[in-house]
Structure 1
Amino acid sequence: MSWANKKTFKRILVANRGEIACRVIRTARKMGLETVAVYSDADNNAVHTRLADRSVYIGAAAPQESYLNISGILSAAKACSVDMIHPGYGFLSENSEFAKACADNGIQFIGPPPKAISEMGSKSRAKLIMAEAEVPLVPGYHGNDQSDPCLIKAAETIGFPLLIKAVSGGGGKGMRIVDSADELESAIASARRESLKAFGDDQLLLEAYLPTPRHVEVQIFFDQQGQGVYLFDRDCSLQRRYQKVIEEAPAPGLSDELRTAMGKAALEAGKAIGYEGAGTVEFLLNGEDFYFMEINTRLQVEHPVTERITGVDLVEWQIRVAAGESLPLKQSELGCHGHAMEARVYAEDPANNFLPSAGRIACLEWPEQDGFVRIDSGVQQGDLVSSWYDPMLAKVIVWGENRSKAIDTLTQSLSSSYQAGVTDNRDYLIFLLSLRDFRNGAIDTSLAEQNVHQLTLLQKRKLLVVAALYQYRIKSHEAPTGNFSSFVTASPFFFYHQEQELSVSVEKKDQLYFLTFADGACKAKASWQQEPVGLSGRLSIEGEIAQCRVIPMPGQKIKVFLPDCSLELGLPGYQQQANERKADSLSAPMNGTVTTIAVKQGQSVVAGETLLTMEAMKMEHMVKAPRDGLIADVFFKAGDQVTLGTPLMAYQDEAHVAT
């Protein structure tokens, strides 16, 4: 008899979407629970809706009308007679009102009590509680007086640099680093605006900014009987724009004494708020000193690395604890085995300040999963990546006997992952894994920000070689019988990248290809294999062997892959898109919503001045004046939706027309 049949709990609704909804559904079904998915207009026919036993429509694409709509989700739950609701992470997962509403409607919320969520949801309240529990804190201001004069005075006392954080924040939203008093007032206003948009709360706190700490967190678990354990630690120091990109467990380089001290402090933090279920206590680690940051009262995105080193299914534990069971294991029974890493593959453009990328996925292939590699994803080939939600495409999770083997396995897994259709951060992740400091364990929260990934000239040349040989192969198969040589060598192959036209001439003699560029030449050999989409190949470029992949894309484009890099290229007939705009254009840098307009028609502006702000995929972006000038037209107002490349404003000496 299954676990579910022994309990009164038989049906669970997952109040989320994407990869976390898929992940929860799989464990719930393994336990014998019936599953219910919910979806918005943007997620019709999404993967998570097909995995569940039943799916229910809950509203429009805007999160406020669907995944953040408490009454809508509860209506779906009652219509399906569910016994439990799992909130996943993000959306309503740390909303105490939602947890209370579940209880009021006789539905078991899979998470901590509303009081614990409420107290930890306020970073200022959390820090007061932790101070009483004698958990170490970073110096700062956590008071109720939120007036500008009070915050400015507190900042002067703390000193610069300092960190502004949203009291209800998470994921880097509502967070700003302030280096001097001159920046403080505008940073406060911006952080308030972003926090209000993301969390419905514009209260802030201030902390002394530690430039190069490590971000180390401890996974805790408490049952309803008050028993608690910690499942070791994770290092989440590799971040960009305050968003984690690579996480690992256990945190490297910690002494046994330090690891134990952090684990015990995390348990004390949980006890101080009467915690139940899965939680994460986040610390800043500065040398041998650690400071409490916050408790995330939910499952973390990076929870799989803890699962891989402990052998524990954390979602199963969540469900069991919510059903009233005691913790399955005691602290002395928990072990830490090997090393695990997770890389977050995002639809974003690292070359353009990591702005989110929306569009349709033309091709998507992940490495085969086994005992060493796991892929958590909620998207599939053909899906439309919406600007409404978080841009994560997947989490690539690996395990190795030691840290070095885990890094190698993760690098290989990412190298054999192929996505075409939207810009992603695959190459950036591979680059981070190759950094000497990272491989040596010399990591802190500034490492990813300080190392900007750009294609080298050698990588660009190799990618162009692959593209040219691919086109030669394609054209040779199109050649009329008996006219092969003249057909494929009559003219160079042309490619387009960043408004540049690139030409490559290819001539084949026996099994050797001779390629000529505008600034040089090389020799290569190639063997190709047909794939479901495009071709894979084994190339020898001047004697250097490389595996490659080429994927054709809509709009006369191809995406070319090598193990450590990739490049999207236009082909003849390719029309320059609006996103390939001139440097001084006042165009939308992404699909999204205009949130504020900072200037008026006829106003003079100076280079670098903020003109408006946009929000997409839960991140705020400021559009700044590229040069001095007079604003002749403002084409949109706050609340308007705009698409990538759409003119937003026009200088007096321009002739833009809104489209």
Structure 2
Amino acid sequence: MLNKVLIANRGEIAVRVIRACRELGIQTVAVYSDLDRDALHVRLADEAYALGGQTAAESYLNTEAILDAIERSGADGVHPGYGFFSENADFARAIIESGTTKWIGPPPEAIEVMGDKISARLAAERVGVNGVPGTTDLITDPEQVRTFGEEHGWPVAIKAAYGGGGRGMKVVQGPGDVESALESAQREALAYFGRDECYMERYLTWPRHIEMQIIADAHGNCVWVGERDCSAQRRHQKLIEESPAPNFPDEIRQAMGEAAVKVAKGCNYVNAGTVEFLYQDGEFYYLEMNTRLQVEHPVTEMVTSIDLVREQIRVAAGEPLSFTQDDIVRTGHSIECRINAEDPAGGKFLPSPGRITALTVPQGFGTRWDGGYEAGDEISQYYDNLVGKLVVWGSDRETARLRMLRALDELEVEGVATTAPADVAILSHPDFAAGEHSTKWVEETLDLSGVGAAPAAGASADGDEAEPKVRRDVDVEVNGRRFSVSVFVPESQLAVAASGTGKAAGAGRPKRAGGSAAGGAAAGAGKVTVPMQGTIVKVVVEEGQEVAEGDTVVVLEAMKMENNIAADKAGTVKAIKVAVGDSVGAGDIVVEIE
């Protein structure tokens, strides 16, 4: 068994791995960016190492910094979580080639085959598992998309070849939307996965998204653990997942499980992974394989009583699976709600970064909370916006559904808006209760007009933020040995020290910086504001251009998602206040229209 595991990740998945390691008697090592210095995963780990930087590229995607932390800590295992380096073959290979550290994930060769969605499609076809009609050619010209759409019908899905989780995926409704959709997909793919190659396939009209959890060891054993229905989505990203899938024929379940094992064995897969399918009209189509642990793995754990993270660690240490296919028994029903820092008012799901000022999580029979934050922690615009996962188990689906509604009623999150009100709307709808929803259902059928706007994100009740800290380098002496260390001190304490008094002038928590009116409260008609902090990735209009109300004027990236910012009235663009690459805050004016 391993002795010390470094978790190359952050948030709730880092916390999840730390807890599994503790139960196995394994020491844990956290890594952190400048913004995550006081994060929950850092507080829980036995050791923690600074990566520096703020953005993902500067920190959690900084290969050199993470490899240095592995060497300095002496970790003999690395768990990548999901996202970041979890599906990066070069990073996995660097860990394995070190000779001293176990990679808690699949072989780099399997990551390479399945990480490229085109080669993954070909690999599945070689073992007799067919995907949605599409092309294996990378898109180099928008005309390719138009030709494909005319041949196979619209809409067409443009997808990141090295992506997943809905990032870098855009649906093209017709030939006139091709250029903008392709550009947006490529930008998102590059920002989130570091590569912008895209391909395309037919977009099914009313499918269900059903995925199969598999796990394999290095001794030739590979099993399918069970399926999950992840059809409640918006922007192709999951909101609610459940296991088992409702209204799902057992013969399809068996066939899908066997197909998933074929795909895994076909690429010599080892460790945990998920094979995703689309299911429509009694047929299922291979979609992709995620060569990592999935966000929604807890629902599988709840119905099987199998700790998938524990099993991952055992497999990486060279041990065989602790169970066979025949040993797996699925009992009851489990539902998971992703609690994201997004404002679902009106179905917009706008990112809502900020500080969590209060957090009360539900308790009770069959109720589980996997969280990465506590009250006082900050949800940054630079990372994924998942606050935590609320998971319940029930003896049957209806019991689980009602238990989740009870748990959501108990959940309290203040300071940021969350998707919890949308989860309630989904779970309460007769379509969901009957298991008759699809991946299109949230955006095309569910009415979220009654979901009210949340309070301004990131602010406490009096509009203040937590006091910022300032770095100071000092020398200390421990047992006669001198060390140079960095400490992070609240600004008010520095003011106290400088004044030599017991209280700084004007002491108290500083007001929100920036001077912009949150949510554009001070902006009048024709002054287009952004609803959240983020980065401008595209300016669509020019000064002097005529625009109609609702036309996109700029594109804002926040929490790795692109958001179109629209004109609030028809008129002529008078002034453009931002440029590509600019950082903006909630309420900042980006375009003026007269």
Tell me the TM-score range normalised by the shorter chain.
Answer: 0.7 to 0.9
AA partner of residue 599 (structure 1): V
Secondary structure of 1:379 counterpart: coil
CA distance in 2, matches of 1:317, 1:110: 10
CA distance in 2, matches of 1:161, 1:223: 40
1:420 aligns with 2:414: yes
Contact 2:517 2:588 in 1 (8 A): no
The aligned runs of 1:20-99 (5 Å cut-off) are: 20-99=13-92
Partner residue in 2 for 1:490 = none
Which is bigger in relative contact order (C-alpha 8 A, separation at least 6)?
Answer: 2
CA distance in 1, matches of 2:268, 2:208: 28
Secondary structure of 2:431 counterpart: helix
Shift of 1:85: 0.5
1:130 aligns with 2:124: yes
AA partner of residue 280 (structure 1): T
1:119 aligns with 2:61: no
1:336 aligns with 2:244: no
Partner residue in 2 for 1:357 = 352
Larger Rg: 1
String of CA shifts for 1:370-395, please: whole Å, max 9, x gaps.
Answer: 55011000111111211111111110
String of CA shifts for 1:295-322, please: whole Å, max 9, x gaps.
Answer: 0000000000000011100001100111
| TM-score, structure 2 as length reference | 0.87
Which ranges in structure 1 are unaligned for 5 or more consecutive residues? 1-6, 461-495, 499-550, 557-574, 654-659
Contact 2:33 2:60 in 1 (8 A): yes
Contact 2:519 2:530 in 1 (8 A): no
Distance 1:130 1:430, change over 3 A: same
Partner residue in 2 for 1:625 = 567
Partner residue in 1 for 2:249 = 255
CA distance in 2, matches of 1:266, 1:93: 20
Secondary structure of 1:445 counterpart: coil
Shift of 1:358: 1.4
Question: Does 423-432 or 28-37 show the bigger shift?
Answer: 423-432
Partner residue in 1 for 2:98 = 105
1:634 aligns with 2:576: yes
AA partner of residue 243 (structure 1): Q
String of CA shifts for 1:162-220, please: whole Å, max 9, x gaps.
Answer: 21111112221211112211222221222122222222222111111111110000000
Distance 1:576 1:58, change over 3 A: closer
Contact 2:553 2:567 in 1 (8 A): yes
Partner residue in 1 for 2:398 = 404
The aligned runs of 1:146-545 (5 Å cut-off) are: 146-351=140-345, 353-368=348-363, 370-449=364-443, 450-455=445-450
Distance 1:218 1:445, change over 3 A: same
- Alpha-carbon RMSD: 2.2
CA distance in 2, matches of 1:313, 1:153: 47
1:588 aligns with 2:537: no
Question: Does 625-634 or 376-385 show the bigger shift?
Answer: 625-634
| TM-score, structure 1 as length reference | 0.79
CA distance in 2, matches of 1:171, 1:139: 20
CA distance in 2, matches of 1:428, 1:554: 26
Distance 1:598 1:455, change over 3 A: closer
Secondary structure of 1:64 counterpart: coil
CA distance in 2, matches of 1:310, 1:31: 20
Secondary structure of 2:211 counterpart: strand
Partner residue in 2 for 1:143 = 137
Partner residue in 2 for 1:542 = none
String of CA shifts for 1:8-27, please: whole Å, max 9, x gaps.
Answer: x2110001111100000000
Shift of 1:578: 4.2
Shift of 1:253: 1.4
Q: Percent identity?
A: 43
Partner residue in 1 for 2:495 = none
Question: Does 173-182 or 13-22 show the bigger shift?
Answer: 173-182
Contact 2:384 2:559 in 1 (8 A): yes
Shift of 1:153: 2.1
Distance 1:284 1:583, change over 3 A: farther
Distance 1:623 1:576, change over 3 A: closer
1:555 aligns with 2:460: no
CA distance in 1, matches of 2:185, 2:460: 42
Contact 2:518 2:586 in 1 (8 A): no
Shift of 1:552: 8.3
Shift of 1:589: 2.3
CA distance in 1, matches of 2:155, 2:572: 34
Question: Does 63-72 or 168-177 show the bigger shift?
Answer: 168-177
Contact 1:155 1:206 in 2 (8 A): no
Secondary structure of 2:589 counterpart: coil
Secondary structure of 1:589 counterpart: coil
Shift of 1:401: 0.5
Secondary structure of 1:112 counterpart: coil
Shift of 1:444: 1.1
Aligned length: 538
